[in-house]
Structure 1
Amino acid sequence: MAMSSLPPVLHDSSHLLTSIIITNSPALSKAKGILMNTFEWFEASILAALNKDRVIKNLPPILPIGPLEPYHVPHDDGGDQYRSWLENQPAKSVVYISFGSRTAMSRDQTRELEKGLEKTGWGFFWVLKTSKVDKDDQEDAEHFLNESFLEKTKDKGLVIKGWVEQQEILGHPAIGGFLSHCGWNSVMEGALHGVPMLAWPQHGDQRLNAQVMEDAGLGLWERNWDWGPNSIVKGEDIEKKIVELMTDEKLRGRAKKVRDEAKKAVGRGGSSDMVIRELVNFLTISF
């Protein structure tokens, strides 16, 4: 683990989040186990280090029960526009772009991403977020993006602002790649659907997640794309990595392997399925 991959706030013991972690972490030793949204095959060496070598004294066992799928309550989510658009795209022809619900890209970086997408020649589905807090996200996509970009890409791209059903999108046959901040839920969703990922960590634990994702064979991580608001990745570099993401057949094969292992883990008798059954049995006996 590189020191540069640790969340920056953890280097500051006076930071509120860090102080909370320091204060609360000792309580973990009182737990019987820690449920984690991951699966044995995906992080075998890490789980072995924690569970067998016991690298941390008094840490309870990590219990992998993922990849977890969200429980969907039927409702009108306004997704008819992007669903119909996806249905009209060729298989594996669209790169899905999302940086999560708490990451807003700067206008300068957005311009460079526009340049990269325009030059790739691939279709794209971009979930655009312009502020960290949803209620402050007032501008329409048309007002935030370059008019010339929207005009040149109107036949091959779709830009959405607002909530989307990411699991549904990643499972669509049209999606051939996923440009992601590498939040852990996104990593697990990408794994479950076997969508090759291009990691672009922004903050928090996302560099660590990108390393795990790359080691598992699910995708690519360009380490020179620094995180944080002060670094700008150029459009030509974005173009190059997206083309690699969408054309590397060996990568696609590795991602398919990840998908197969993920589905095996949550299937009947799989590693995650067995952990849940053992947990239920333990709780039944205990109570």
Structure 2
Amino acid sequence: MTPYDAELRAAGLDPEALLAQVRLALAEDLPGEDVTSVATIAPDAHGTAVFGAREAGVVAGLGVAALVFHEVMGDTVKVTDRVPDGTRVEPGDVVMRVSGPTRGLLTAERTALNYASHLSGIATATAAWVTALEGTRARVLDTRKTLPTFRALQKYAVRCGGGVNHRFSLSDRAMVKDNHVVAAGGVVPAYRAVREAYPDLRVEVEVTDLDQLVELLDVGCTEILLDNMDSPTMARAVEITAGRATLEASGGLTFERAREVAETGVDFISVGALTHSVKVFDLGLDLG
């Protein structure tokens, strides 16, 4: 039990699983002791460290960073002035202050920054896509292209940036991709096979042309992914669908094309880059 359990649970995160992950992360840095801090800092020294934004963006993961400090220093640490995850910040803004034993502050520094900088990078990238899609019906969607063991955190950061989560696992929704279609003998046989095996489960099917789209609409498929289509073809897909299914655009979509794709009328634009290759957000920690 930590002081952050209720907050993390409300954010859709598992406090026990996250604490176990934090402990593994700290163990990478602490197979022994923090020799530099032990050598240079008096054991009774106390201080305050300031987390500051060094660029404009959206912060996420500050609660995880606070959990890192608590794991290192226990109840001797005090966290103040923490802005809520999802807050837009500017260079120079203070996003959190942490007070406690100085050795502990510096021991926890890098692990805390690694979490907050990475997750803030995802939130910032997602927010940029959300802004680019403003005024259209399209919403930005993440994928399963996440770092192993980081999926819950990365998808949380997408939510902080205003994005929408796709499925979390291979079990919570069926996603019929091209290889499934080949194995089943077509989009309709694949769709029907999933529907028969799991009648109560959501099913989304990937199509690569308009003929496959029409086949699926005719058998009642209500979630369809348009894979690697150009914008005119997507616009035609929207026209053909006429609201009978939600349409997700996917495959090689760049930020430069975001607005163009959204204006075709698709419901979702999925962006693997939000989690698999995002630039970290520049956060720094300085002793005050």
Query: Which TM-score bucket, shorter chain as reference?
Result: under 0.3
TM-score scaled by length of structure 2: 0.24
Which structure dedicates a bigger proportion of its chain to strand? 2
Question: In terms of Rg, which structure is larger?
Answer: 2
TM-score scaled by length of structure 1: 0.24
